[in-house]
Amino acid sequence: MSPVSPAQSPVDAGLLPLTAEEGPSGLAVGGVPLTDLAGRYGTPLFVYDEEHLRSRCREAVAAFGPDNVAYASKAFLCTAMARLAAEEGLLLDVASGGELRVALHAGVAPERIVLHGNNKSEGELRTALTVGLRHVVVDSFDELDRIERLVAGEGLPPARVRLRVAPGVAAGAHEAIRTGGHDSKFGFGLADGAAAAAVRRAAASPAVRFEGVHAHVGSQVLDPAELADGAAAVARFAVESGASRLTVGGGLGVAYVAGRSAPSFAVWAERVRAAVRGAGWQGEFGVEPGRSITARAGLTLYRVGTVKRIAGVRTYVSVDGGMSDNLRPALYGARYEAFLPRCPGAARPLRARLVGKHCESGDVVIDDAALPADLRIGDLLATPVTGAYGYAMASNYNKLPRPAVVFVRDGAARVVVRRETEEDLFRLDADGPADAFAEDLAAVPAASPAGTAAASPAVRHRAAV
């Protein structure tokens, strides 16, 4: 057998969900073959290994201690995910009224939810104070003003508060996800004295109970030293300011492609613990992992639709989703891998640009994908490690309905978010009632030239714009 070069080798098992296993019908996750899931639920499809999600939650709690881990729900949130995280003993970090609504709907107790955001509305703060969230991570003096107005004007109970600090340590894989530097929209700066002033103001305000400080330095951080540096800076400030609670944010990275590796929760905990102790902080501390809980638990299934070979240039392989279900490559230049679930162990000597179906040349899923040589139209293709910031950032660009999300476990699958339909695309459209689509189709005579069918008001309206 000829040796397979690393660039052509089969997909690395370290990129797959924990229960991934090859069987007679190809790769199965949670005991269900991926080809069956695509047949049953269609594509594109997000598939999450429930056992993997749960085991990541448990590992995090084991590393940091009970009540010290808040799942950063921005990475992936739906009712089932909020429930799963809560069942596994995690708090929930929400960053908007919408995320808060989902968490409450899922039955997560308000005292297990924390609220973030650099521009919280009065409505979001009112809900937080009314339902009694665990704490609010306050980001600005304007937010303190708003809380004071709500408490004084509406008689709401004082807010339990942690102040978000920009410690001057920025980490992370891309400028857009580095948050802890001085030049940041988030938090009170340490360097310019804003953080110290915020502590004085919060401690003196009857509208807040100042509990502690918080920092989140960035996301997709693979070097634990960077997370430890950020934690040390904020811990030092916590000690100086007499805070009784400390949160050091999320940010632990994951391996998206072979050859990269990410620290475990245990290593993250050990390094941060040493750093905060070194800074004089003797108490417990909280963390907010998002990506590191969900990314590798999830993968996306697509159907291959076209293969275009441009002699001397490259091959394009198009799938039935793209930047509307995975924005990260376009947004951050993020890299992924792909494989065919029917033959996960196959070598991947074919180099191709894997693209979506959107009207943008930048709609690239993988710039230089390694794929099996016998890839053909109609093949099911999977991109692993898409469980974080994929569905969460999904859109209806080009009016593509958003994919379904399924959780798989012990040989069974359950839909946790249903696929959008084309009718859903009219949901918010003032001139497009839910049944407009069927009416429009009925009104268009077969083979009539575009724009000439005027029987339905909706069609007339569209022709006019």
Ligand X SMILES: Cc1ncc(COP(=O)(O)O)c(C=O)c1O
Residues with catalytic function: 359
Radius of gyration of the chain (CA): 24
With respect to ligand X, which residue has the nearer C-beta, 250 or 341? 250
Give the DSSP H/E element, type plus range, for residue 135.
Answer: strand 135-138
How many Å apart are CA 202 and CA 162, to the nearest integer?
9
219 binds ligand X (CB under 6 A): yes
- The CB-of-215 to ligand X minimum distance in angstroms stands at 9
- String marking each residue 285-314 x if it binds ligand X according to CB under 6 A: ---xxxxx----------------------
- String marking each residue 381-410 x if it binds ligand X according to CB under 6 A: ------------------------------
Identify the CA nearest to 129 among candidates 141, 142, 117, 146.
146
With respect to ligand X, which residue has the nearer C-beta, 389 or 426? 389
Give the C-alpha distances (Å, rounded to integers) separating 199 from 8, 80, 140, 202, 204.
55, 37, 11, 5, 9
97 binds ligand X (CB under 6 A): no
- Which residues in the 38-77 window bind ligand X by CB under 6 A? 72, 74-75
- The CB-of-334 to ligand X minimum distance in angstroms stands at 13
251 binds ligand X (CB under 6 A): yes
How many Å apart are CA 34 and CA 38, to the nearest integer?
6
Q: Which pairing describes strands 364-371 and 45-49: parallel, antiparallel, or unpaired?
A: unpaired
- The CB-of-219 to ligand X minimum distance in angstroms stands at 3
216 binds ligand X (CB under 6 A): yes
- Which residues in the 110-169 window bind ligand X by CB under 6 A? 116
Helix, strand and coil in the chain, % to nearest 5: 35, 25, 45
With respect to ligand X, which residue has the nearer C-beta, 127 or 292? 292
353 binds ligand X (CB under 6 A): no
Q: Are 180 and 215 in contact (CB under 8 A)?
A: yes
With respect to ligand X, which residue has the nearer C-beta, 201 or 328? 328
Q: Are 158 and 151 in contact (CB under 8 A)?
A: yes
The residues of the shown chain that bind ligand X, judged by CB under 6 A, are 72, 74-75, 93, 116, 179, 216, 219, 249-252, 288-292
